[in-house]
Structure 1
Amino acid sequence: MTPGVFSGAFNGAKDQYTFDSIDGAADALEKHWSSYFTEADIQEIAKTGINALRIPIGYWAYNNSGTPYQKGAEEYMDKAIQWARKADMKVWVDCHGSPGSQNGFDNSGQAGDVNWQMGWNMAHSIDVLKIMAKKYGAKKYADVVVGLELTNEPISWGANDNTKTMNWAKDAYHAVKKVAENKDMVIVMHDAFMGGQKWTDTAKSVMTDGVKDFGVDTHMYQLFVGADNKLTQQEHIQKACGWSTQLKKANDVMPIFVGEWSAATNICVKSDGSTVGGTSCSDDGCQCQSASMDSWNNKMKEQVQRFVEAQLDTFEANASGYFIWSAKGPGGWGFMNGIKAGVIPNPLTTRKFPGQCSGGDSLYSKSRRSAGGFMIGV
């Protein structure tokens, strides 16, 4: 997300594990943390109507024993929470990287093998989560920290067994609930790419007395599957509207959050305003979303905003909250970039293209502000 950081002495790093193994990593991280995302950014985001931040952090921020990981991110998590409080925003603390890597993706901190379910890693995950829950679940944070995510995007294939993942989620839920003073804090589990409805039985097995405090995080994108990249933008919009059924069914049982979504689709817009799937085109006047955001013409901006608004309508009506990936990121991946370019409504509750999913403009509530944005680490 921040390729400039991976330069010079860190040019060969492929993830934070290898980055932190290089001499000078601590200073480089400190420079990045202190400048990339600031209190001023949170104030600007709050002005758009967003009321929550999902902030990712690696387990090593709290226990890096036996690893090359550098500590220091905890200090900036604490600062961000205070900044959010001053802006009247809420925070959802997300354990984005778990011991052994829960998915083998670089976003877990260590790309490559998936060893999360090996040895003592799952138990170590819970030990770290208890540290986090005791801290951020304290009464002094109850006005601002509303959620704790157990792990982000554990895969449901390969080295990970789904039954083991679900049983771990139950154990982790009980463990963090036991040490957190704030009993209203929602404990969130990513759906492991299985969809929220696969988790309803798990949620019902741990929630008691009608308190819906086990939430599920689902990530909804339309550009990582081959079939999606063949869709026109109108077909992307129809698919986004179609998400309403699955979200509502899950949300009726437990809180379901769209923890990640994006304005991005792989489409090209022709000179007549029609769209085709893909990342390149040769027709005169044709432009693809893969082009630099600064160069997007009005036809492209309109298509992007249509897709954004359809997603917002769907999430507002059928989920318990949503967080765009990301607050600050390159091009179309950055919420703040989208606001500046005029492809994300500002305030967020306004609509240029109302009723795309319902035929009316009553699908979303103008009184709700349930969106959030990511603070991105290295």
Structure 2
Amino acid sequence: MGAITRLSALTALLPLVSCWLPQTNKQITSNSGTNLFSSSNGKIRGVNLGSQFIFEPWLGESAWSDMGCGSTGCEFDCVKSLGQEAANKAFQKHWGSWITQDDITEMVSYGINTIRVPVGYWMREDLVNRNSEYFPQGGLPYLKNLCGWASDAGLYIIMDLHGAPGAQVSENAFTGQLVETPGFYNTYNYQRALRFLEWMTKLIHSTNQFRNVGMLEIVNEPVSDSDEATSMRKNYYPSAVNRIRGAEGNLTMSKNDHLHIQMMDELWGSGDPDQYLTNLHFLAYDDHRYLKWDTSVPASHSSYLNTSCSDERNSNWPTIVGEWSLAVPDNVQSSPNWDPSSNKKFYAKWFAAQVHAYEKQQGWVFWAWKSQLNDYRWTYQDAVKAGVIPKDLNSLKSPCS
């Protein structure tokens, strides 16, 4: 019996776990009885666990090098270079040390109530083609530990299929592999992703450590509007909803205990995610907002503040701004006017402006919690320590007139 089959047999014997959108459908509390959403008026205030289960080398060059991956640009290439056994040891050491229980405790002390956990389809190991694909093995126990700590602490968890089979975009390490042409948009890889989603749904509902996972994102940052995006909306999205709901039906879950199924919102540029859907029950939407890459916004303090103050991220509901930062364009980021050490007041105002804009929606998830960049503009933990983000998020005053 394979590892996945054994796991399925074991989890089938466990009590079912309910899922929800905090405050809207169910209350969520820590082991101590604390409701972390009561102070945020039900809004998601979260951080992404970038480079935990899908390593993006730019976020942690030193850690990447220490793993023996320094000459490679993605997990696929590192595993292929190191060999499976050595790679498994290196990645398992990383999974056990990048985000720890102490990190979870620190997040809660800063008023964070949500984590978004990017994972790759290779978390389900039997989906990987061993003749042509190279990914680390052994991640599931570490994912369970992490989600168990978060659930104990009362954090809400968004599980995010960040790396899709074949890669949903080209040349980006967040997919786990660097490909010239995205390979996700075909029946074979849709089917692998659907098998992942069905498996993850069953795990979430039957594993105690996953009890606070209330949202499952079915693909992160797919291609912008194109034939591939149309194919995804027409074929993959309806199938994903049906496969997740079918798994929940087989588990006889109450509809109010269903996962929220998350897709990129229409503002992302892949088209209207609801276009081909007939079942709209418990859907949610993901909006990514990086002014760093928005060339329509002039790179000035006043322009960034004005843009964020007037931002309306409301194409679909409920929307969570699932990725954003304080990063600015490469050509100005090191200039005196944008230097993080001498412009803390501006970055603090801009953070507050973005929070107020995104909490007009269901809330926000900052990218990322941790890095080795020595740049708080990308790192929530460092921004708090720098005094740019307050520990008491309710103390934020809007800089918008």
- Asked if these proteins are the same fold (TM beyond 0.5), I'd say yes
TM-score, normalised relative to structure 2: 0.75
Q: Distance in 1 between matches of 2:106 and 2:75?
A: 28
* Pairing 1:58–2:120 present: yes
Q: What does residue 126 of structure 1 align with?
A: 194
Aligned pairs (5 A) from 1:145-224: 145-157=213-225, 160-180=228-248, 181=251, 183-191=257-265, 194-195=268-269, 198-202=272-276, 205-207=278-280, 211=281, 213-224=282-293
Contact 2:229–2:271 (Cα < 8 Å) also in 1:
no
* Pairing 1:305–2:305 present: no
Instruction: Give, as a single letter, the amino acid of the residue that structure 1 aligns with 2:63.
Output: V
Q: What does residue 109 of structure 1 align with?
A: 176
Q: Offset at 1:191? A: 3.5
Q: Offset at 1:161? A: 3.3
Q: 1:279 to 1:164 in 2, by over 3 A?
A: closer
Q: Offset at 1:158? A: 6.2
Contact 1:100–1:115 (Cα < 8 Å) also in 2:
yes
Q: 1:69 to 1:192 in 2, by over 3 A?
A: farther
Instruction: Give, as a single letter, the amino acid of the residue that structure 2 aligns with 1:5.
Output: A
1:57-104 deviations in whole A, cap 9, x for unaligned? 111011353122121222111111110112111111111101000112
Q: Offset at 1:5? A: 3.0
Q: 1:310 to 1:129 in 2, by over 3 A?
A: same
Q: Distance in 1 between matches of 2:270 and 2:346?
A: 28
Q: What does residue 367 of structure 2 align with?
A: 325
Q: What does residue 74 of structure 2 align with?
A: 15
Q: For this pair of structures, how many residues does the alignment match?
A: 324
Q: Offset at 1:260? A: 0.4
Q: Distance in 2 between matches of 1:128 and 1:206?
A: 20
Structure 2, unmatched stretches of 5+, are: 1-58
What secondary structure, in the 3-state scheme, does the structure 2 residue paired with 1:199 have? Answer: coil
Q: 1:198 to 1:309 in 2, by over 3 A?
A: same
Structure 1, unmatched stretches of 5+, are: 268-276, 360-378
Contact 1:25–1:70 (Cα < 8 Å) also in 2:
yes
Q: Offset at 1:117? A: 1.0
Q: Offset at 1:111? A: 1.4
Q: Offset at 1:160? A: 2.2
Q: 1:142 to 1:13 in 2, by over 3 A?
A: closer
Instruction: Give, as a single letter, the amino acid of the residue that structure 2 aligns with 1:279.
Output: Q
1:191-231 deviations in whole A, cap 9, x for unaligned? 3863598335456x322xxx4x1111110110023344x32
Q: Which one of the candidate residues 315, 334, 341 is aligned to 2:379? A: 334
- Per mean C-alpha deviation after superposition, the further-off stretch among 193-202 and 65-74 is 193-202
* Pairing 1:80–2:154 present: no
1:17-56 deviations in whole A, cap 9, x for unaligned? 1011122211211121111110000110011111110001
Q: What does residue 357 of structure 2 align with?
A: 314
Q: Offset at 1:334? A: 0.8
Larger relative contact order (Cα-Cα within 8 Å, sequence gap ≥ 6): 2
Q: Distance in 2 between matches of 1:45 and 1:221?
A: 22
Q: What does residue 39 of structure 1 align with?
A: 101
Contact 1:153–1:193 (Cα < 8 Å) also in 2:
no
What secondary structure, in the 3-state scheme, does the structure 1 residue paired with 2:370 have? Answer: coil
Q: 1:65 to 1:97 in 2, by over 3 A?
A: same
Q: What does residue 338 of structure 2 align with?
A: 288
Contact 1:196–1:218 (Cα < 8 Å) also in 2:
no
Instruction: Give, as a single letter, the amino acid of the residue that structure 2 aligns with 1:321.
Output: G
What secondary structure, in the 3-state scheme, does the structure 1 residue paired with 2:394 have? Answer: coil
CA RMSD of aligned residues (A): 2.4
What secondary structure, in the 3-state scheme, does the structure 1 residue paired with 2:168 have? Answer: coil
1:131-164 deviations in whole A, cap 9, x for unaligned? 1111013374674111111111111256723243
Instruction: Give, as a single letter, the amino acid of the residue that structure 2 aligns with 1:56.
Output: P
Q: Distance in 2 between matches of 1:12 and 1:174?
A: 42
What secondary structure, in the 3-state scheme, does the structure 2 residue paired with 1:21 have? Answer: helix
Q: Which one of the candidate residues 259, 272, 297 is aligned to 2:322? A: 259
Q: 1:280 to 1:32 in 2, by over 3 A?
A: closer
| Identity among equivalent pairs (%) | 24
Instruction: Give, as a single letter, the amino acid of the residue that structure 2 aligns with 1:225.
Output: D
Q: 1:232 to 1:128 in 2, by over 3 A?
A: same
Q: Distance in 1 between matches of 2:195 and 2:299?
A: 44
1:262-311 deviations in whole A, cap 9, x for unaligned? 122249xxxxxxxxx82354xxxx3433xxx5xx02xx000001110001
Contact 1:154–1:192 (Cα < 8 Å) also in 2:
no
1:323-360 deviations in whole A, cap 9, x for unaligned? 10001123221110111011112212211xx2333x4x
Q: Distance in 2 between matches of 1:97 and 1:179?
A: 22
Instruction: Give, as a single letter, the amino acid of the residue that structure 1 aligns with 2:344.
Output: K
Q: What does residue 24 of structure 2 align with?
A: none
Q: 1:201 to 1:119 in 2, by over 3 A?
A: closer
Q: 1:120 to 1:201 in 2, by over 3 A?
A: closer
